[in-house]
């Protein structure tokens, strides 16, 4: 049975070694202490990882820079990225979420929680790769129906498109895209964008 591949990027050698040892029990693990080295390998790999665990505070390229490079690459931008960091302030967390990380885990995180979160997002990635289609029949019973523009946005969210991609595809401004995404989340009762999987075929 093929094992899921996970990439860890963290310049703390002790954390990197510990996490690689923990996760190697269930997954194929690639570990890098440098964002630049990780990106170089990702650009060459035939099969990219199904999930990336990324530290924010790193020497050289920090996590935000690495994430920006991932999101700018057509081949890599749909890989779920989880920030795993010691930065606990609200500003850092909001910045990461605005850049479309799927989760923001604060160090130290227990092995049990880490495995549970990883499995959740691997399943989400699998659903997206296989389906990624909105089941619009489920939208017929909404208390507040989606407008045509909101429906277009919901379809793109179901493909796990970023706000920037929604802007480009719909030819709208970023503030308007954010407004549409917020409206879709509210009408569909989504706490997080990833919860849209409830409305997938």
**Class of domain 136-199 as given by CATH:** mainly alpha
Using alpha carbons, select from 18, 103, 9, 102 the residue that is nearest to residue 63. 9
Could you tell me which CATH number the domain at 5-130 has?
Answer: 3.40.50.2300
pLDDT per residue as tens digits for the range 65-83: 999 999 888 788 878 888 8
176-184: average pLDDT: 92
Q: Band of the pLDDT at 96, cuts 50, 70, 90?
A: low
Domain boundaries, the chain: 5-130, 136-199
Beta bridge partner(s), residue 5: 28
Q: What is the pTM of this model?
A: 0.62
163-187: average pLDDT: 90
CB contact at 8 A, 121 and 102:
yes
| Residue 128 scores a pLDDT above 60 | no
Report helix, strand and coil shares of the chain as percent, to nearest 5.
50, 10, 35
The C-alpha angle 190, 90, 70, rounded to 5 degrees, equals 70
| Residue 7 scores a pLDDT above 80 | yes
Any idea what DSSP says for residue 200? B
Q: Band of the pLDDT at 132, cuts 50, 70, 90?
A: low
120-148: average pLDDT: 75
Per-residue pLDDT, 48: 86
Q: Band of the pLDDT at 114, cuts 50, 70, 90?
A: confident
How many other β-carbons are positioned within 10 Å of the β-carbon of residue 102?
Answer: 22
Per-residue pLDDT, 181: 93
Q: Band of the pLDDT at 168, cuts 50, 70, 90?
A: confident
């Amino acid at each position: 049975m093929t094992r899921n591949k996970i990439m860890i990027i963290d310049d703390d050698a002790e954390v990197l070694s510990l996490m690689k040892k923990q996760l190697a029990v269930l997954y194929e693990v690639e570990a890098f202490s440098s964002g630049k080295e990780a990106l170089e390998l990702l650009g060459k790999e035939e099969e990219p990882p199904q999930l990336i665990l990324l530290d924010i505070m790193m020497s050289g390229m920090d996590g935000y820079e690495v994430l920006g490079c991932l999101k700018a690459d057509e081949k890599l931008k749909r890989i779920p990225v989880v920030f795993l960091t010691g930065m606990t302030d609200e500003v850092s967390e909001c910045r990461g979420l605005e850049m479309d990380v799927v989760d923001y885990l604060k160090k130290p995180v227990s092995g049990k929680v880490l495995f549970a979160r990883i499995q959740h997002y691997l399943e989400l990635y699998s659903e997206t790769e296989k389906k990624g289609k909105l089941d619009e029949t489920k939208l017929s019973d909404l208390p507040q129906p989606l407008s045509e523009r909101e429906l277009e946005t919901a379809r793109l969210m179901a493909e796990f498109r970023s706000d920037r991609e929604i802007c480009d595809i719909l030819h709208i401004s970023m503030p308007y895209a954010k407004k549409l995404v917020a409206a879709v989340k509210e009408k569909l009762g989504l706490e997080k964008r990833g919860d849209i999987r409830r409305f997938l075929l």
